[in-house]
């Protein structure tokens, strides 16, 4: 083979290698996944149609009873919402009087799960919701992860099992300040001093440090504690309290932009 051809192949190989490395650095996968979300939604359409058409096959009396129950529930909820609104207004006025900023500062919405990554390690999600990067995703049983990228009513979620995510946590009522990192199929809890190790089965909650995650959300349950010789921190393993593999709906918490008067010195 002529030397020129060998050189050309080596250059081509190097170019491919550089392109692969560049692809690894950029969030291309997230954008392709977002682009595929309309197709995934289309593929779900027959299941949705079946679910909608099931109503035709159900008993009329049963449906009427369900309708009356729903109407009653709606009336009760409307009354509760009114009460909540008046309380919220009162709360805002009190906070203004006392010059306290809203410590929660998050708006909550429901989001439908459109797809999931098939591996058992990172368990990433695709949600059908209008959101922005770093919105917090929560299930009924605990923290799920953060929105990584979002576009046109779809969002891809990086879960707490992902190694790139670290969550500041604490044990309620204790001064403990630890950090949870994803390890694929389990979680690792860093910076727990040997004399402050919680018991196995204790639930760790978000501490709110860093301002990304709202405080007080359950994150993980401790499964294994090991004291390593010569180290001041224990090796602590945990599992997520949230099980999002089967949930069809999750909640999204978006941080509200602080009001203009709270930003003023």
What is the C-alpha separation between 178 and 198, in angstroms, rounded?
11
Q: Minimum distance from CB of 29 to other proteins (Å)?
A: 4
Give min distance, CB of 209 to other proteins, in A: 27
Site membership for other proteins, residue 119 (CB under 8 A): yes
128 touches other proteins (CB under 8 A): no
Letter string b/e over residues 162-195, b meaning 16 or more CB atoms within 10 A of that residue's CB: beebebbbbbeeeebebbbbbeeeebbbeebeee
Asked whether position 45 contacts other proteins by CB under 8 A, the answer is: no
The span from the first CA to the last CA of the chain, in angstroms, equals: 74
Q: Does 99 bind other proteins (CB under 8 A)?
A: no
Cα separation of 25 and 6, whole Å?
29
116 makes contact with other proteins (CB under 8 A): yes
Q: How many residues does the chain have?
A: 265
Say if CB 236 and CB 222 are below 8 A apart. yes
The contact pattern for other proteins, residues 182-221, with x = CB under 8 A and - = no contact, is --xx------------------------------------
Interface characters, 3-42, with other proteins (x: CB under 8 A): -----------------x--xx--xxxx-xx--x--xx--
**By CB under 8 A, is residue 88 in contact with other proteins?**
no
Per CB under 8 A, residues contacting other proteins are 20, 23-24, 27-30, 32-33, 36, 39-40, 43-44, 114-122, 124, 126, 184-185, 245-246
């Amino acid at each position: 083979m002529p030397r020129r051809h060998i050189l050309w192949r080596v250059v081509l190989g190097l170019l491919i290698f550089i392109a692969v490395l560049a692809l690894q650095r950029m969030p291309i996968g997230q954008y392709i996944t977002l682009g595929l979300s309309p197709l995934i939604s289309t593929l779900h359409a027959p299941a949705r149609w079946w679910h909608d058409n099931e109503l035709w096959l159900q008993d009329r009396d049963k449906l009427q009873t369900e309708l009356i129950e729903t109407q009653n529930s709606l009336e009760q909820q409307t009354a509760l919402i009114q009460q909540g609104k008046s309380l919220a207004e009162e709360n805002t006025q009190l906070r203004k009087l006392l010059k306290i900023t809203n410590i929660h500062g998050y708006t909550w919405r429901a989001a439908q799960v459109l797809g999931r990554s098939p591996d058992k390690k990172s368990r990433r999600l695709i949600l059908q919701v209008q959101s922005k990067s770093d919105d917090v995703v929560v299930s009924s049983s605990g923290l799920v992860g953060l929105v990584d990228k979002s576009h046109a009513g779809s969002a891809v979620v990086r879960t707490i099992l992902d190694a790139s995510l670290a969550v500041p946590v604490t044990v309620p009522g204790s001064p403990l300040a630890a950090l949870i990192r994803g390890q694929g199929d389990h979680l690792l809890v860093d910076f727990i001093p040997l004399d402050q190790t919680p018991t196995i089965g204790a639930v760790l909650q978000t501490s709110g440090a860093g301002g990304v995650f709202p405080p007080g959300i359950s994150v993980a349950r401790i499964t294994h504690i090991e004291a390593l010789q010569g180290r001041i921190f224990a090796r602590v393993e945990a599992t997520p309290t949230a099980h999002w593999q089967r949930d069809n709906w999750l909640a999204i918490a978006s941080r509200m932009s602080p009001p203009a008067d709270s930003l003023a010195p």
